[in-house]
């Protein structure tokens, strides 16, 4: 479904695609990595990971964020977890410069 939506939006030439984790069911961190890798691989534009666990019921652990940051077509993350200080400190100087 996500890949079809990205394909549908491609003619509009967006600057970025914002995507959340799978939602409703709890998934593993590996599932989250696979989810975003697949999206990044197929997206014609960079991905922004939207971390909003209160809605998706899937928290992205810092170790997973650091792995996501290494994927070429993932540009950054918007964190709405409410734990920004912890999240920001953990990512400080551990992500590539192109990851925001």
Domain boundaries defined on the chain: 16-91
Tokens of 54: 């209160």
For position 98, what pLDDT does the model report?
Answer: 74
CB neighbourhood size of 37 (10 A): 16
Sign of CA dihedral 8, 10, 15, 20: positive
- The pLDDT score that the predictor gives to residue 36 is 95
Taking the model in full, what pTM does it have?
Answer: 0.86
Q: Which residues are catalytic?
A: 50, 78
Of 10-14, 40-44, 72-76, where does mean pLDDT reach its minimum? 10-14
Per-residue pLDDT reduced to its tens digit, 55-97: 999 999 988 988 999 999 999 988 888 877 766 766 666 777 7
**pLDDT at res. 3:** 83
Domain 16-91: which CATH number of 2.40.480, 3.30.310, 3.40.1000, 3.30.160: 3.30.160
């Amino acid at each position: 479904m996500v890949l079809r939506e990205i394909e549908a939006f491609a003619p509009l030439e967006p600057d970025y695609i914002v995507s959340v984790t799978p939602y409703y069911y709890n998934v593993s961190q590996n599932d989250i990595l696979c989810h975003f890798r697949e999206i990044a691989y197929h997206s014609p534009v960079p991905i922004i990971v939207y971390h909003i666990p209160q809605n998706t019921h899937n928290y992205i652990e810092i170790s997973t964020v650091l792995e996501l940051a290494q994927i070429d077509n993932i540009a950054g993350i918007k964190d709405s977890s409410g734990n920004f200080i912890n999240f920001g400190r953990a990512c400080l100087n551990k992500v590539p410069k192109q990851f925001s």
